[in-house]
Structure formats: structure tokens, C-alpha cells
């Protein structure tokens, strides 16, 4: 008699990371993978969420769904908290009671952004926007309920799917002669496909070490230099002007520095993380050939 396939429940199936997870996992017959989105698992229906998650009888839950409208969250703090924090608590409870291992996706926005060195997992958290506050509240709640959960903080996520900086820049550069991009915020982009592969590798390895981990592509850049590299690789001619954060006000404050140290995740799970330029080149090639 065949051993039952391990069942993986993935939330946020329509998002950037969820879509990449779908690409790499949908054809893998060694797992029973269930993808849910905001229609099939509404995170704002809090009273039903626990039972719905539990009903899937998952061995692993990858909770990638989130309220990600960072600026809008400033005027919708309760909604952001409901989706990012309170819903995540219900999912953690269901994971605990259903004996499932949980991976929760968090953000560099839990940090204030005043560091000069790469941020480690135990660096002091102090979010400066509502979105970051809601994700930090989720982290703390999950760790209380399920200390063995894996929490992965990531930054500057982009993909061939959904809305993101890379696709926005290409669109702007194709339609404008000149654009402005912030040059005084430092960090590292994350190609969602690389993160998806890392998550799958953690689960496939069956080496489970709970705790907080950081993941982004290797290297350091600014949004301005990121845009310049997009321009170079996509062979576009738009003039990009560097501006300061103060010249480009947004509803939500952004951390000036959010470069994540990846040493812990690389060491623990023996992961090789690609450089951000290499991954950007790969993504742009896929985007050009994606139908």
C-alpha cells in the first residue's frame, strides 16, 4: 500500500509568490498540493477561517496571502490588521491543532531602516508603517501559538506575475522619456521564483528548524540602481533621474535601509541564493517569452 502523499496548502495562490509556487509545484506528483486564493479562502471571514484551514488536513501550510497595499494600509489599518495579523493567528491555530508545519511569509518592513549593517533575524524590529506593524503582530502571534513555525522575511519582491516594481518600470520606460526613482533607500530585490524554490527545498529536505529567517537575492542596491539595471537589461532608452525619499512622498514611510542578512537560512537549509542581477536577467527573459 502506498504511503499517503504529503499535503501542502498554499494561500495567496493568485499573488506573485503563490503563482511561482504553483509553477514549480503543480506538476510535482510526489505531493498533494492545494492552492487557495481570496475567493476560495477569504481571510476576512475570521469566524470561518480556522475550520476551513483545518478541513484541508494539510501536512504543510505555506501562508503567502497578505494585504500588501502598503500605502492604502495607512488609511485602512483595521483591514490590514485583520488580513495580515488576525487571519494569520487563525491559520497558526489551525496548523497547531491539525499538526501541520507552517511557513509564514513576512517582510523587511518590520524594521525601522536606520541600520548600517545587513539586518539579522534578531535585529531590533520597529516598523514605521501600518503594513509593517500588521506583519510584525502576525510574527509575534504565530510564534506564541506555534514556536516551531518558520517565518521568512523577504524584501522588494518581483515576478513575471502580478504588479511589481520591475513591470512598472518597464511600462514607464516604454511610455515616458524621463522618470524619477528614489535613490536613497538600500536593500536587495527578491525574485519570487527564487524564494519559491527555497521554500520548496525546505519542505522537500524534511529538515525542519523553526524560527525566523531572512531571504532576498544576494547583493545590495537602491531602487534607482535597480531601475538602471532593468533599463540596461531591457534595452530601453528612458532617462532615469535619482531623487530622494523626501522628494517622492508616499502615504506610508519606507525603511531607508532594509538589506537582509541571509546567513542563517543559507547555513541551516544549505541554500544557494542567486545574485540579484542574475535573477533579474532570468525574470526579464521569462517575461519577454511569457504568454
Convert the pLDDT of each residue in 119-139 to its tens digit.
999 999 999 999 999 999 999
For 2-15, what is the mean pLDDT?
A: 89
Extents of the domains making up the chain:
6-164+190-218+259-274
pLDDT of residue 119: 97
> Which residues lie below 8 Å from residue 261, measured CB to CB, with a gap of 6+?
118, 119, 120, 121, 214
For 264-268, what is the mean pLDDT?
A: 97
**Which residue's entry shows cell 533579474?**
280
Greatest CA span in the chain, whole angstroms?
A: 65
By annotation, the residues acting in catalysis are 131
Q: How does pLDDT run across 223-260, given as a tens digit for each residue?
A: 999 999 999 999 999 999 999 999 988 999 999 999 99
Q: Which fold would CATH assign to domain 6-164+190-218+259-274?
A: Rossmann fold (3.40.50)
Is the pLDDT assigned to residue 2 strictly greater than 60?
no
User: What CA–CA distance (Å, rounded) separates 194 from 215?
Assistant: 9
Which of 133, 103, 134, 107 is closest to 199 using CA atoms? 103
pLDDT of residue 291: 53
On whether the CB atoms of residues 104 and 85 are closer than 8 A, the answer is no
Could you tell me the sign of the dihedral formed by the alpha carbons of 135, 137, 140, 146, in that order? Answer: negative
β-bridge partners, 96: none
DSSP code of 164? -
Is the pLDDT assigned to residue 49 strictly greater than 60?
yes
User: What CA–CA distance (Å, rounded) separates 124 from 34?
Assistant: 35
Question: 10 Å Cβ neighbour count for 119?
Answer: 23
> Which residues lie below 8 Å from residue 271, measured CB to CB, with a gap of 6+?
198, 201, 265
Could you tell me the sign of the dihedral formed by the alpha carbons of 236, 188, 167, 245, in that order? Answer: negative
pTM over 0.85: yes
Amino acid at each position: 500500500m502506498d504511503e499517503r502523499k504529503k499535503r501542502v496548502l498554499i494561500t495567496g495562490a493568485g499573488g506573485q509568490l503563490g503563482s511561482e509556487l504553483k509553477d514549480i509545484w503543480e506538476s510535482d506528483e510526489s505531493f498533494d498540493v492545494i492552492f487557495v486564493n481570496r475567493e476560495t479562502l477569504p481571510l476576512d471571514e475570521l469566524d470561518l477561517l480556522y475550520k476551513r484551514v483545518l478541513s484541508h488536513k494539510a501536512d504543510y501550510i505555506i501562508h503567502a496571502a497578505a494585504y500588501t497595499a502598503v500605502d492604502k494600509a495607512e488609511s485602512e489599518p483595521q483591514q490590514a490588521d485583520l488580513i495580515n495579523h488576525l487571519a494569520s493567528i487563525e491559520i497558526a491555530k489551525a496548523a497547531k491543532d491539525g499538526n501541520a508545519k507552517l511557513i509564514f511569509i513576512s517582510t523587511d518592513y518590520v524594521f525601522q531602516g536606520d541600520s548600517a549593517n545587513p539586518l539579522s533575524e534578531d535585529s531590533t524590529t520597529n516598523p514605521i508603517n501600518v503594513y509593517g506593524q500588521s506583519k510584525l503582530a502576525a510574527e509575534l502571534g504565530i510564534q506564541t501559538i506555534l514556536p516551531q513555525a518558520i517565518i521568512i522575511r523577504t524584501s522588494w519582491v518581483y515576478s513575471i506575475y502580478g504588479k511589481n516594481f520591475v513591470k512598472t518600470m518597464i511600462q514607464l520606460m516604454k511610455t515616458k522619456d524621463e522618470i524619477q526613482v528614489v535613490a536613497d533607500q538600500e536593500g536587495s530585490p527578491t525574485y519570487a521564483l527564487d524564494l519559491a524554490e527555497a521554500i520548496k527545498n525546505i519542505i522537500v529536505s524534511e529538515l525542519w528548524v523553526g524560527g525566523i529567517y531572512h531571504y532576498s537575492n544576494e547583493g545590495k542596491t537602491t531602487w534607482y540602481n535597480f531601475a538602471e539595471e532593468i533599463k540596461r537589461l531591457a534595452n530601453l532608452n528612458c532617462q532615469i533621474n535619482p531623487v530622494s525619499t523626501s522628494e517622492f512622498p508616499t502615504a506610508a514611510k519606507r525603511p531607508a535601509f532594509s538589506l537582509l542578512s541571509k546567513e542563517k537560512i543559507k547555513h541551516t537549509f544549505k541554500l544557494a541564493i542567486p545574485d540579484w542581477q542574475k535573477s533579474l536577467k532570468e525574470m526579464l527573459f521569462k517575461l519577454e517569452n511569457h504568454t
